[in-house]
Each structure stands twice: as structure tokens, then as C-alpha cells.
Amino acid sequence: MERLQIWAQPWWVNLLLFVPILSYLFWRRRGLLLSWRTLLLLALFGASFGFVEAAMVVYLRTAAGLFGQYSSAISHLQQSSTIYQQAVSSLAQVPQNLRTIEIFREAATMIMLVTVAWLAGAVAKERWGAFLCAFAAWDITYYAGLRAMLRWPASLLDYDVLFLIPVPWVAQVWFPLLVSTLTLLIIVLPKPKR
């Protein structure tokens, strides 16, 4: 039976839970100055991009010969007390050139999300909200896309390597989905002003 693991690794990844809360407190008085139309377009961009990212992961896993092995490798992690170390060492199965491509893909993803946020907002507060909206929609659709294409994750308790920059981030799938869902909720809670 899979067990709920509360903490992500490394420890500072857990601080992401504060992003939606602090952002809400920041926006609470004046609201987020993005129109509903802009938020919808940002979410549409993020969701579309999340599906493209999921497809890319399928291609990378296939190229690395991990398509059928990935599920068993991840379920192996769930039975270990050193989940983080095992996840990092499982990355060694991926050829170095593909790991390098993956790191550059992750950096390009962040640059694209920052760029669209910069274009959507006129001031820092709007840009931050735009980034969070696109990122959250991207993240949720990424996992939905992986589920649709690979039937993975099988459970919200499955482990994933969330990010590789600057070091691998490892958590159960529920963690990024919770952060992204809370983020979308705080964006729609304060009524956006025109």
C-alpha cells in the first residue's frame, strides 16, 4: 500500500506551498489587475503548453528506452526510505545527452512562461499573477496529459522528479497538483479589476 509522504525533497521545495498563500495576501486588498479574458487566455496557453510538455516527456522516455520501465522504477521508489537518493540515482538510467536536453527544456519552459507573463501584465503584480496562472494550468495539464498518454501517474501518491534545476526535486504527484490548484483558486478568488 502506498503511503502519503508529506515532505518533498530537497526540503526547500516544500516552501512552494507558501506561494499561493503569500500571493493571495499580496492581492487581497486591490485584487489582481488582470481581466477574466486575460486570465482565461493565460490558462489556455498554460494548458496547451502542459500537454506539449507531457508529449515531450513521452518522447524522451521512449528515446531513453524507459517507456516500459518507468512505472516499475517509480513504484520501487515508493518502498524506499531514501526516496530522494533513489530518484536521483534513477536519473542515471537516462543518457547524459538526454538529461542535458531535459535541463535545457525545463529552462526554456520557464523562459516561455515568464515571457508570456511579461506580455500579459503591465506591472510586477500583474506579471506575477499571469506567471502563476499559466504555470498552474501548465502543471495540472502536464500530469493530466501523462495520465492520458501513459496511464501514469497511477495514483496521486506516485513519486515524480518535478524539476532538475538546480538539483532534482522529488515529491509525490499530489504535491505539485495541490500547489497548482491552490494557485488557480487564489487567482480567481479576488475579483480581477480592469
72, part of any domain: yes
What's the CA gap between 181 and 187, in Å, rounded? 10
Q: Which pLDDT score, from 0 to 100, does residue 73 have? A: 42
Q: What is the pLDDT of residues 158-171, one digit of tens each?
A: 999 899 898 889 99
Q: Which pLDDT score, from 0 to 100, does residue 85 have? A: 62
Structure-block grid coordinates of residue 11: 526540503
What's the CA gap between 93 and 96, in Å, rounded? 9
SS3 (DSSP) at 154: coil
Of 28, 23, 45, 187, give the one whose Cα is nearest residue 117. Answer: 45
Q: Which residue has the higher pLDDT, 1 or 46?
A: 46
Q: What is the pLDDT of residues 111-123, one digit of tens each?
A: 999 999 999 999 9
11, part of any domain: no
% of the chain at pLDDT higher than 90: 56
In the chain, the DSSP E strands lie at: 159-163, 169-172
Model confidence, pTM = 0.84
What's the CA gap between 155 and 13, in Å, rounded? 21
Phi first, then psi: what are they for 163, rounded to 5°? -160, 155
Tally of structural domains, the chain: 1
13, part of any domain: no
Rounded mean pLDDT of 58-68?
A: 71
Which of 58-67, 77-86, 168-177 is predicted most confidently? 168-177
Contact 12, 167 (CB under 8 A): no
44, part of any domain: yes
Q: Which residue has the higher pLDDT, 81 or 187?
A: 187
Quote the domain boundaries for residue 76. Answer: 34-188
25, part of any domain: no
pLDDT value at 71 more than 60: no
